[in-house]
């Protein structure tokens, strides 16, 4: 593979900047000395980004998207990896991929328009009826990572969109839950048929909400 061919494509989510110490991520079963690499995306922790944090963890505080410098108020910047990721690196918690990253917005129409103006096309829209107010989920591809944009339906506010949390695919969910013990919630069915999830508790010390989810299974359409 040539150097040119290995460059990330336009719209690829290459990095997420998190306001967490690397020690919290390694304690939660992620491998990495100062950053955590999952597929094509690098999780850059406070120490690696030289960000001065405080005692209150803020979660995802920024990101890098190839070819995009601004996107509906989301914190974006530039981060250059100093060394190539080890392709043989495995995470003790069993994580193999980012299933999706979540963005929260008060105005799904506005955020969708901004995403599509930057070449990120909406692939699917899901409407959810709740007693607390209807919600809309809009799904985009950021390279090989799905971005799920969640907001009220209809819009409710003018604040900018914000990075929120991560859903991470694991090869064996029961093994992941066993390895993390009391740091995760009981396993339950996912919204997607045939998949199951468990949530990393706040006691783990991460500011980023994390959901571990089993791999996709083939389900015949009804």
**pLDDT value for 88:** 65
Residue 209 within a domain: yes
Q: Which domain holds residue 183?
A: 95-214
- Are 211 and 197 within 8 A, CB to CB? yes
The conformational region for residue 96 under phi > 0 = left, psi -120 to 50 = alpha, else beta, is: alpha
Instruction: Give Rg (Cα) of the chain.
Output: 17
**pLDDT value for 2:** 42
**What are the pLDDT digits (tens) for 105-114?**
999 999 999 9
Residue in 74, 132, 129 with CA at minimum distance from that of residue 101: 74
CATH number for position 104: 3.10.180.10
- Are 203 and 183 within 8 A, CB to CB? yes
Residue 67 within a domain: no
For residues 116 and 194, what is the distance between their CA atoms, to the nearest angstrom? Answer: 31
**What are the pLDDT digits (tens) for 155-184?**
999 999 999 999 999 999 999 999 999 999
**pLDDT value for 221:** 47
Residue 153 within a domain: yes
Residue 111 within a domain: yes
Residue 184 within a domain: yes
In sequence order, what are the beta bridge partners of 136? 127, 151
pTM to 2 decimal places: 0.87
Residue 42 within a domain: no
Residues of the chain with pLDDT under 70: 1-7, 47-57, 80-88, 218-222
Query: What's the gap between Cα 193 and its chain centre?
Result: 21
Residue 174 within a domain: yes
Tally of domains within the chain = 1
């Amino acid at each position: 593979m040539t150097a040119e061919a290995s460059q990330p494509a336009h719209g690829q989510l290459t990095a997420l900047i998190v306001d967490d110490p690397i020690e919290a991520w390694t304690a939660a079963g992620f491998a990495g000395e100062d950053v955590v690499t999952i597929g094509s995306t690098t999780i850059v922790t406070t120490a690696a980004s030289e960000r001065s944090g405080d005692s209150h963890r803020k979660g995802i505080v920024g990101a890098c998207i190839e070819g995009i410098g601004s996107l509906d108020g989301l914190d974006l910047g530039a981060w250059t990896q100093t060394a190539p990721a080890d392709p043989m690196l495995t995470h003790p918690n069993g994580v193999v991929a980012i299933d999706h990253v979540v963005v929260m917005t008060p105005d799904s129409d506005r955020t969708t328009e901004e995403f599509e103006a930057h070449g990120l096309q909406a692939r699917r829209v899901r409407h959810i009826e709740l007693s607390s107010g209807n919600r809309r989920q809009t799904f985009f591809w950021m390279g090989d990572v799905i971005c799920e944009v969640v907001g009220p339906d209809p819009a409710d506010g003018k604040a900018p969109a914000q990075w929120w949390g991560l859903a991470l695919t694991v090869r064996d969910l029961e093994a992941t839950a066993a390895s993390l013990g009391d740091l995760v919630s009981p396993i339950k069915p996912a919204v997607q048929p045939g998949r199951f999830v468990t949530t990393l508790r706040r006691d783990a010390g991460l500011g980023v909400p994390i959901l571990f989810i089993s791999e996709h299974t083939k389900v015949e359409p009804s």
